[in-house]
Amino acid sequence: MAEVISVSALNRYVKTLLDANDLLFDLALRGEIANFVQNARSGHCYFSLRDETASVKAVMFRSDARRLGFRPEEGMKVVVRCRVTLYERDGAFQVYVNDMFPDGIGSAQLAFEQLKAKLDQEGLFAPEHKKPLPQFPRCIGLVTSKTGAALQDIRNVIGRRWPAVKLLLCPVNVQGFEAADEIAAAIDRLDKSGRVDEIIVARGGGSREDLWVFNAERIARAAYRCKTPLISAIGHEIDFTILDFVADQRAPTPSAAAELAVPDRAEYARKLFILEENIHNSIQNKLELCYNRLDETAQAFSRPQMQGQLAQRQQQLQMLTGQLSAAARAKQQSCALQMNHAASLAASLNPYGVLARGYALVQDEKGRICAPDALRAGQSITLCGAKNRIRCTVDAVEEPNESTQKL
């Protein structure tokens, strides 16, 4: 008969057998998660892996579980790397999981699509809910790892573009499924602090699994709740996470997020310069316009222009003078004509003209012209002809008779 041993000895013995097996030491195992429990205090995860016909107990310690990019869910198909050994106390063998991957990404992708569809229907991605980013933020809240490259990238870009802005870091784990709670809480905290006017949730590059945590529903809800404009910058990939859809702006990288978050001071310096130049030009133009207007008007008052005005008046004066002298000349001519008429009329009445035709004037002794009926016999008279004077004495005065009268 064989040796009698204790239960403890048996379990210890079987454990050594299992531990000695190289195959069981590092095993890849496919199965579906069932009865998943995480111990709230220790953080260790307990669950079963099963297929259609069998199941095995599994443990994943906190130190391993925290590196997981996704939250293991009931019924999720996974592949785990594990070591198989015996739990001595219960005499049950179980698998100790080091790492876990969604099986063929299929189920995880399915979960992703389902969650995305659900949140989309709820309106979490609605464009009208997206808030515009502030043009000139004063303080930006960062939700990222304290030690990650993302933080450094963001600091570099912001330091170069807009150093005036303050950064308020809310350090979080960006890996492992526990990170989801931390990230969601950090978004809430920064939003409620009232100290930031923009939030960047960032994580540097990593595998699809590494970034998986940003598909967590609680992060999506925290981002949706957030009243502060939020930029997501997850990884360096073209793949979108759920957070990218909820965020007000999505940046492909942390550096790109920083560029979105702040204006570029070089660009603003350029704009300012152009503005300054335009203002300068416009005031110069204004001045020039005023000068031109004044010059034009002053031109009208220049000496030549005034001389012209004077010349015009001079011409008027000259014309008037000319008209005056012409009028005077005409007047004088008409007077002369009148006088000639009078003169010729006078000449026709000249008594000497009669004498020239052979008549004579009778003058008495005293030279007075006397009519023939005033003459008396014996009177001395003078007959004045045109060419000479004849002294005569009146012989007789006879009354005219019939015969002479008929003559």
Note the residues at the interface with another protein (CB under 8 A): 280, 283-284, 287, 290-291, 293-294, 297-298, 300-301, 306, 309, 313
Distance in angstroms (rounded) separating the CA atoms of residues 241 and 176? 15
106 Cα distance to chain centroid: 50
Distance in angstroms (rounded) separating the CA atoms of residues 36 and 73? 7
Q: Which residues contact 36 (CB under 8 A, 6 or more apart)?
A: 45, 46, 47, 72, 73, 74
For residue 309, the minimal CB distance to another protein (Å) is 7
For residue 302, the minimal CB distance to another protein (Å) is 10
* DSSP track, 213-225: GGG-HHHHHHHHH
Which of residues 74 and 288 has its CB atom nearest to another protein in the complex?
A: 288
Which of residues 75 and 308 has its CB atom nearest to another protein in the complex?
A: 308
For residue 267, the minimal CB distance to another protein (Å) is 18
Compute the Cα dihedral for 47, 178, 69, 231 and give only its sign.
positive
For residue 286, the minimal CB distance to another protein (Å) is 9
Helices 149-161 and 254-261 meet at what angle, rounded to 10? 30
Q: How far is CA 190 from CA 23, 140, 246, 250, in A?
A: 49, 9, 17, 19
For residue 263, the minimal CB distance to another protein (Å) is 19
For residue 293, the minimal CB distance to another protein (Å) is 6
Which of residues 281 and 332 has its CB atom nearest to another protein in the complex?
A: 281
Which of residues 288 and 365 has its CB atom nearest to another protein in the complex?
A: 288
Residue 261 · residue 231 · CB < 8 Å = yes
Which of residues 109 and 315 has its CB atom nearest to another protein in the complex?
A: 315
For residue 290, the minimal CB distance to another protein (Å) is 6
H/E stretch holding 308: helix 303-348
For residue 319, the minimal CB distance to another protein (Å) is 15
Three-state secondary-structure class, residue 352: helix
Hey, what amino acid is at 258?
A: A
Which of residues 290 and 330 has its CB atom nearest to another protein in the complex?
A: 290
For residue 279, the minimal CB distance to another protein (Å) is 11
Which of residues 42 and 307 has its CB atom nearest to another protein in the complex?
A: 307
Distance in angstroms (rounded) separating the CA atoms of residues 229 and 201? 11
* DSSP bridge partners of 234: 203
Distance in angstroms (rounded) separating the CA atoms of residues 220 and 4? 61
Which of residues 28 and 283 has its CB atom nearest to another protein in the complex?
A: 283
Kindly report the length of the chain.
Answer: 407
- Nearest in space to 109 (alpha carbons), one of 81, 70, 79: 70
Which of residues 314 and 350 has its CB atom nearest to another protein in the complex?
A: 314
